[in-house]
Amino acid sequence: MMDHATSVPVCVFLLLLPSSLVALDNRDFKHDFEYHHEGSGERFRVKGHGRLADIVIVDDIPQITKILCEGNVVLIATTDVTISATWRPSQVIVGGPDWGCSSEVDGRVQHGLYRKIKSVNQGKRTVEIMTENAGLYDSFETAQLHVHHTPGNWSSREERENDIKSRQKREASTDSDVGSRLWPLLLSYGDESLFTIPFNYDTSKDKEVLQFSVSSQGVEIKAGGFTAGFAPQHDAKKTWELGCTSCYAFFRAGFTMELNIGPDNTRFLLQLSGEFKFNTDVGLSWSRERNLGNKTFTLAKKELKIPSIPILYFPNPLVPTMELGIDLLAELLVQVGAKVEGKMLATAGFDYNKKLTVTFKKENNGPFTMFTGLTDEPWTGHTPTFSMQAKFSANAALVPKITLTPTISFGWKVRFVGSNLYLFSLNFGAPVAFSLNAGITFEVAYDSAQRTFCLDLYHQGDIAIEANKVTSDIVVFGETVASSNILKYKKKLSISLWPRTSFTCTALVKCCVVACVGLPKLPQLSMDQTVGAMKKKFTRADVNFQSLKQMKGTDVLFVAEEKTASYCGVPSRKCKDCTRGVIGWTTDDKCADRMMTGDLLEKLEVLSKFVRITWPKRKLRVEEAWDEPTSAYPNGRHGASSVHYEGRAADLTVTSEMTADQLKNTPKDAPASDKSSAIMVRLAQLARCSDLPFVGQKSDYVEVAVKKSATSPVKRTRFDRQIKRATDIQLGYCVSISKLQLGKSNPSTGTPEFVCGEINDRITRYDPQAFLRLYQYPFNDVEFENKRRNDAWCGATSRECIDCRTKIQGESAYDRCADRMMTPRLAYRMRRLGSLVTQKWVDRKLKVIGAWDEPTSSSTNQWGSYGAQSLHYEGRAAQVSLTGSSPNSLMGDLSQLAVCAGFDYVRYTTNNYIDVFVQQESHTKGIVVPFLKANLLAVDPPPHSINYGYPENLRTELFKTLLFDGSHRSQLKLSDNFVLGEFKHPEARYLRLDDKLVACLQNIRTALGKSLKIVKGSAYRPRSENIVDIDERHPEEIDRFQSGQAAEIQMATGTSGPKEITNLGQEAMKQCASMLSVTRRGLGIGIHADRLYIDIRPNTIAEQALYIRVWDTVNSSTNASVMNDLLVTKDQLERGGPEINPVDPEAACEEPVLGKENYHINIPMPNARSDCASETSSDFCKQTQTYRETVLERIKKHFQKKTGDKVVRSSTFVSALTTCLKDACGHCLGSGPTWEKKVKSCVKMLNYHRTSGAWNNITEKMSFFNLDSPKSSVRALACKDYVCLEKTDLYGLFARILSEKYRPSKNSSVEELVYGPGDNPLPIMDLAEQTFAISASGIARVFIEKDSDVSALWKVLKILFVYNKEIADVEFHLTADVNKNKLVETIQRKSEVWAGTGCPKWSRAAITPFKMVEISKGRLKRALPEHESIPRSFQHHLHQWELDWIHKT
């Protein structure tokens, strides 16, 4: 609820009150003005009287020189303080804005002085006034004001002008100050009422101005109009289109304002009343399956301003007119949305008027309250049409929206400054938006029970009223609601419907058409070729005749047996009249045309429903079914051989239209057939939709036939083996299970629907796709009560009930017994329970009271004998008891056995029986998919639904995800950090899910150590949700949401910017790619601005172990860096060795000794020695001080010569160089502060050199060999064609530094090294070699002369294999002396060690790939020795200084 200070427009209107009156002689006002135009009904009335309060107006007091406002204190400087002698508490003091004061008036700050006096204190030259906020009514002593306007109907401009002018002239002499100002205003509106707003409406023609269409290509205005209305058609360029041939609206509004102020009561009321007139005729087309969501398009926007209306006028010139003003913003929007499973065309329309009122009210000091009202005016629906190839729901709406900003101005003259007039006025107003969302909605759904597409067509919408600054409550129809109020309405239309099949459904709310999408072609083969030729003519005396079924009821009409024949069957049998129904069940009484096989009867029952749906006033008529000899046709009507004689064929027509009485009470004589061509064509179509194997269209009837009925059970090879083994269960398994008490269940919490999942759809006998999924229990180890065997009918009025207590009666849908029908999962557990029962009680059996259920003549409801949502209707529930005497006391024991048998939910319901239930399961497969923390049971997609189907583009893939029931399982943990609900779409019950996707995301979460979230609704998406905006998605992100193999992820906390997206992508590759490679699967990664797309996909590159596909959906400069980083990681993983995944991440990722930027450096740092702990300047360091300074200056000049002044002017470089070569002097190696200082400064100096670009041109040519080998035979190969470290200026420079000598004694010729290993070891060459290695890129070539070189180069190799992310390959060049296999084994062993100890934060994603190149003898011989820029005598010293020092010490 909003604070009272921010008030509503209404509140605003009230602040109309005057606030600048000085001592007024006349404070009274009185008005009475009325205008009523009889022709149009327009009415305008202003009536009011009252008295203003005594107000102090400081602007008209010349003695006042200055005013200061500070909080509630008003300080007035004046030349005469006596002016305040008459001022008293409760008076309102008013001043203009030029005093610099502001006031809060009912929560709105006004520039000017408007306060109520609390006390007055006079000084010598000032008057101090304590004030408080002035309220709504403080400017009036009393007031009664009524303003009312009612808009009229349309009238001619001339008629209205003449009426206004004549009245204005007649009332010119009256004292109506308001009226004198209103006449010109009324006249200026011309032929439109005061508040009439058209939306695409031509008032003179009462029709639309423009016609338009919106589509996937945008908005298109049809300037020339549609020539013959918008005929929707499929356009390959447009996924969808909505065309509007006649869409317009206008809004006409009036208002009433009342203000009553008295000594004890105050009341304010503002009521806006309006009427919408609306018309729309639209056409919709969808060219392919899509889910559009809801799109809104703005067609037009226009700002309107109604001139201010005077509502209060004071004769006193100090008080100007109070005026009401309204600004309007009129917008015309169109909304369209659809969820379409195939092509669709539709048209519809409606027109109506709708009236609404909005009332703002305030009484005394209470809050403003808003009331709304809405009238239910009649709606007229225009004739719709639709054509579809699948289910769809679509809506189209035209939305006129009006934003009103009402203001009331009240001001007065304050003073003159030169020639300028300043007015202080109070303006109060806040926008109020009225929007009418009115549209037509098509909902076409598949009714599996009726096998029809049924259309619900209705008009629905809402009227939204939004007050931006509403104070306090809004009350709608007596109930308090939020400040943004929406009045919703929904009204189904009475319609006439013509689908493409010329089907008419008049004056019905719901219309259905038969689901004849994708009709098969009429057969090219004969009846015998299609269903099999007749083998034997059945006669009444044959046993085969007893297998035929007699169709009951009157839903299908039959003609009387041969009326002109003297006998039927045999000469001794008279022909029967079975027009009104079955006349008997004896062999003699059975009527020939009502006799047929169960399969044919079942399909004719379906066809009869289709006929009633298609032609509500007609019925299916059977002309002939089973045929026998008659006196007219002694050999039968159908020749020597026809499947009619086996009851497998029928000749069909449709009756002519019947009266309501004939439909209810079948006449004695069947109505005549309608054998018109159109009827026969449609009947043939419906017959094909009824799954009749053969349909032949003749000129005056349709011939249908079925194949022979199945005599053996449907083969479920795997399940048949399983259920036979179900009896292996032993009673001893059940000992530890507790018996249930009466009213208790297992599990103890939840309902059967919660535990096992709600019913998806009721299975009927006439839906073969679903019905044949059920299993007919064939064994006699369980007894079936079959209590409805004696009912008049079962399943349908045409079907007799079957006694299946002792055995099944057949495998056709007709012959199957309801109580024996159940899902395979229920049947398997039923057999286990039956086995346990016989083990426990040798004289008892398990008894099934009821399983799958269907309606019968004794049913308690239209579905059967259980509640509407019972699991019995899916064959997933059964009521069971025991045979024998007094079973009631044993129900607790039976519940124990039922739990042991594996039912998913067991309930001890009554002493007479227990209820058992099972979950859904994938047909007969019983596949359980293990996830990290839970197992999920696979289920089949719901029949007739493509929503949970597998994506067409992925159906050829070897691995396919399964479907699971996610009902009530949102919190089921699938892994340590993810639950099922995060993967299931919020709008779907079921989900497909790849267990590897869950494992992948869990691995990423664990590696990051931070909370990771799946973007809501971004994992599994059913087909209807996956096609939402599918055209706008990246091609790689189309299908795998629907297969449950994709998800979008973000960091759960903070932002997911480029850095976070990069980290997520890199971890996804590292944690998932190798895991997936085991099953020959790969990883897809899509980069988004704030999230990362991940999917699991097949590895399509046979020779590649890891398969990763990366793409960028944004293509921005920001994402370019992310893309580049991920591609580098991808390349490393796909082409490299083992992933770098440390066994102990915490130890591997400890802070490097030399800092994170030097993670690759490996330098000896042994434990501190006692003689190095407090190392001070030695005699050696003092003696060599000048030498080291000389070396330093020489090095500086060298760098200046090579690189210019830039390097030597860098304080960072010079400082590091100075410390490295001069200041850090000491004998300790790997210990002590001097050594640490020396290493860090040398590293810093080398890094500066590297980053300065000195080696930029040689990074892709760098080569490496064992520099410790003075007579290396590969040196020439490494340094001639490529660039080795020895070939660089830096190496030569450092070599000379390390060879620098000094004389300890002037009197001696003995020289010693300035940077000798014993006195002042310098790690510069070791660090240079490692820096050289981290600088390389592309292919790094390593020359190996002998096996021991690998050990000498291990620091370089570790950098090339683990840390250098720019290396594509390491290429080893081997002499003949090297054992290639041993070298490969060594490198692989080292790689595995490095992969398990490296830190992924700084390393590559995977070990760099390598290959071996053997150096031929000829190539080695041709390599000439390089010019030795450095004496060989120094080689040993330069690279073995640590070893030399160790030997010395």
Q: For 231-288, how does the pLDDT look when each residue is reduced to its tens digit (9 = 90+)? A: 666 666 777 888 887 888 877 777 788 888 887 788 877 777 777 777 888 888 877 7
Q: What is the pLDDT of residue 918?
A: 96
| Percent of the chain predicted with pLDDT > 90 | 30
Q: Is the pLDDT of residue 183 over 90?
A: no
Asked if residue 112 lies in contact with residue 94, where contact means CB atoms within 8 angstroms, the answer is yes
Lowest-pLDDT choice from 315-319, 917-921, 1114-1118: 315-319
Q: What is the pLDDT of residue 158?
A: 61
Q: What is the pLDDT of residue 1019?
A: 95
Nearest residue to 53 (alpha-carbon basis) of 119, 118, 117, 137: 137
Q: What is the DSSP letter of 727?
A: G
Q: What is the 3-state secondary structure (H, E, C) of 606-649?
A: HHHHHHHHHCCCCCEEEEECCCCCECCCCCCCCCCCCHHHHCCE
**581-614, pLDDT tens digit by residue?**
888 888 888 888 899 998 999 899 989 988 988 8
Residue 1107 or residue 417, greater confidence: 1107
Distance, CA of 879 to CA of 890 (rounded, Å): 15
| Preceding omega of 855 cis (within 30 degrees of 0) | no
Give residue 357's pLDDT band: very low, low, confident or very high (50, 70, 90): confident
Question: DSSP labels for 232-295?
Answer: ---BTTBSEEEEESS-EEEEEEEEEEEEEE-SS-EEEEEEEEEEEEEEEEEEEEESS-EEEEEE
**376-418, pLDDT tens digit by residue?**
566 666 766 666 656 677 777 777 777 766 666 665 444 443 3
1231: CB partners within 8 A, 6+ apart = 1165, 1166, 1167, 1168, 1169, 1172
**Tokens 């099972």 sit at which residue?**
918
Give residue 760's pLDDT band: very low, low, confident or very high (50, 70, 90): confident
Nearest residue to 106 (alpha-carbon basis) of 132, 131, 136, 137: 136
1039: CB partners within 8 A, 6+ apart = 951, 953, 954, 1026
Q: What is the pLDDT of residue 419?
A: 35
Distance, CA of 1259 to CA of 1365 (rounded, Å): 13
**764-811, pLDDT tens digit by residue?**
888 877 888 899 999 999 999 988 888 888 888 888 888 888 888 888
Give residue 1069's pLDDT band: very low, low, confident or very high (50, 70, 90): very high
Asked if residue 367 lies in contact with residue 420, where contact means CB atoms within 8 angstroms, the answer is no
Question: DSSP labels for 953-1010?
Answer: GGTTSS--PPEEE-TT-TT-BSSSS-BGGGTS-TT-SEEE--HHHHHHHHHHHHHHTS
Distance, CA of 568 to CA of 631 (rounded, Å): 7
193: exposed, middle or buried (C-beta count within 10 Å: 0-12, 13-18, 19+)?
buried
Asked if residue 513 lies in contact with residue 452, where contact means CB atoms within 8 angstroms, the answer is yes
Overall pTM > 0.85: no
Q: What is the pLDDT of residue 523?
A: 61
**Tokens 């493409």 sit at which residue?**
500
Q: Is the pLDDT of residue 974 over 90?
A: yes
| Percent of the chain predicted with pLDDT > 70 | 78
Q: What is the pLDDT of residue 331?
A: 78
Q: What is the DSSP letter of 599?
A: H
The residue length of the chain stands at: 1449
Lowest-pLDDT choice from 267-281, 733-747, 1229-1243, 1247-1261: 267-281
Q: Across-strand partners of 1371? A: 1341, 1411
Q: What is the pLDDT of residue 250?
A: 78
Distance, CA of 347 to CA of 334 (rounded, Å): 16
Q: Is the pLDDT of residue 70 over 60?
A: yes
**551-589, pLDDT tens digit by residue?**
988 889 988 766 678 888 888 888 888 888 888 888 888
Q: What is the pLDDT of residue 418?
A: 38
Single-letter amino acid code for the residue at 641: S
Q: What is the pLDDT of residue 43?
A: 80
Q: Is the pLDDT of residue 336 over 50?
A: yes
Average pLDDT over residues 932-949: 88
Average pLDDT over residues 309-317: 64
**1356-1372, pLDDT tens digit by residue?**
999 999 999 899 899 99
Distance, CA of 782 to CA of 835 (rounded, Å): 9
Q: What is the DSSP letter of 49?
A: E
Q: What is the pLDDT of residue 340?
A: 77
Q: What is the pLDDT of residue 2?
A: 35
Lowest-pLDDT choice from 403-412, 696-705, 915-924, 1200-1209: 403-412
Residue 1179 or residue 962, greater confidence: 962
Q: What is the pLDDT of residue 173?
A: 47
Residue 1447 or residue 1287, greater confidence: 1287
Residue 1259 or residue 280, greater confidence: 1259
**Tokens 């194949």 sit at which residue?**
707
Asked if residue 1027 lies in contact with residue 1000, where contact means CB atoms within 8 angstroms, the answer is no
Residue 449 or residue 637, greater confidence: 637
Q: What is the pLDDT of residue 1123?
A: 92
Distance, CA of 1043 to CA of 1080 (rounded, Å): 18
Q: Across-strand partners of 111? A: 102
Q: What is the pLDDT of residue 434?
A: 58
Kindly state the tokens that stand for 1091.
Answer: 């999230």
Nearest residue to 891 (alpha-carbon basis) of 844, 853, 852: 844
Q: What is the pLDDT of residue 25?
A: 53
**808-865, pLDDT tens digit by residue?**
888 888 888 899 999 999 999 999 999 999 999 999 999 999 999 999 988 878 888 8
Distance, CA of 1260 to CA of 1280 (rounded, Å): 15
Nearest residue to 434 (alpha-carbon basis) of 522, 495, 521, 374: 374
Q: Is the pLDDT of residue 299 over 80?
A: no
**1176-1186, pLDDT tens digit by residue?**
567 888 888 88
Q: What is the pLDDT of residue 231?
A: 61
Give residue 356's pLDDT band: very low, low, confident or very high (50, 70, 90): confident
How high does pLDDT run on average in the chain? Answer: 80
Distance, CA of 731 to CA of 948 (rounded, Å): 40
Nearest residue to 20 (alpha-carbon basis) of 406, 417, 409: 409
Asked if residue 4 lies in contact with residue 107, where contact means CB atoms within 8 angstroms, the answer is yes
**1193-1224, pLDDT tens digit by residue?**
888 887 777 666 666 677 888 888 899 998 88
Give residue 1439's pLDDT band: very low, low, confident or very high (50, 70, 90): very low
Give residue 4's pLDDT band: very low, low, confident or very high (50, 70, 90): very low
Residue 430 or residue 606, greater confidence: 606
Nearest residue to 113 (alpha-carbon basis) of 160, 53, 168, 69: 69
Q: What is the pLDDT of residue 1122?
A: 92
**Tokens 């399969």 sit at which residue?**
599
